[in-house]
Amino acid sequence: MTRIFRNLVLFAFAIFFLMPVYVLLVTAFKSPGEVDVVHMWTLPKSLSFDSFSLVWPKLQNGMVNSLMLAIPASVISSLLGAANGFVLAKWRFPGADVVFPVILFGMFIPYQAVIIPMSGLMTDIGLKGGLDGLILIHIIYGLPITTLIFRNYYIGLSEEVIEAARVDGAGMLRTFAYIALPLGLPAFAVAMIWQFTSAWNDFLFGVIMTRTEFWPVTVALNNVAGAQTVPFNQAMASAFLASIPTLLVYLLLGRFFMRGLMAGALKG
């Protein structure tokens, strides 16, 4: 009885959580004549893609910019975090207990606290305005969380495996490249999902650090949804299109996600 009640409660929470998603989907696929606040819960009489064709030209450039931002930022930040985590977990050195908390401190620095000095720095080094500077920002800002994820994961890596690599003549870099990275795929999936989502959803850095032609999709989405004359169906279609890449990342890497999270939680 307790199990049934628990499942019913979880099911109710899931329904409550998915209600906005339902409204988004049914509104996005309605024709302009069907869009009405009173009937926003009703299913469309027929599937209409008019809203998507109207908003896609407004989002296309932002989607490309966000892909060019999120993919390298998530891959590079995850690789650097993997290297940091492996060194901190398996190759102890003097001061490691100080370096790790200092790196983690970056997780607690809000964007708003660094936006002004960061803007000045990026201007001085000539990286403000384009995507290269924004990619660098997200790589650096993602290092604390990716380091934490991989450090917690690699703590559970067998010491015998590391010793066997040393006996075979492998140094730190070869051990990391040929042993740690292949064994760290679950943690890599967690870091990639986290970083891709963070970079894709960024608005503040994107609108301040880039020029108009390099604005990410979040800025384009804000310009579409924030206009006073945009119908609900176009705003919903824009939100749906902007969410597709992150959904695909979760679908592709989701089977590794919980495994990596639980490994970090249990071994940290």
Q: Is 166 a residue whose pLDDT tops 50?
A: yes
Q: Point out which residues pair with 30 in neighbouring strands.
A: none
Cα separation of 24 and 209, whole Å? Answer: 30
226-266 pLDDT, tens per residue? 666 667 788 888 999 999 999 888 888 777 766 666 665 44
Alpha-carbon torsion angle 178, 183, 184, 186, nearest 10? 150
List of residues 6+ apart from 50 with CB closer than 8 A:
31, 32
Phi and psi torsions of 129, nearest 5°: 115, -30
Phi and psi torsions of 210, nearest 5°: -125, 155
Spans of all domains in the chain: 1-48, 50-267
Cα separation of 179 and 185, whole Å? Answer: 11
Domain 50-267 in this protein, CATH class:
mainly alpha
Confidence class for position 35, pLDDT limits 50, 70, 90 = confident
Phi and psi torsions of 48, nearest 5°: -125, 130
E strand or H helix that includes residue 66: helix 50-90
Q: Are 193 and 249 in contact (CB under 8 A)?
A: yes
- Within 13 Å of residue 201, how many CA atoms lie on the same side as its CB? 9
Higher pLDDT, 201 or 170: 201
Q: In Å, how far are 9, 10, 13, 27 from 16, measured between CA atoms?
A: 11, 10, 5, 18
Cα separation of 128 and 53, whole Å? Answer: 33
pTM, to two decimals: 0.85
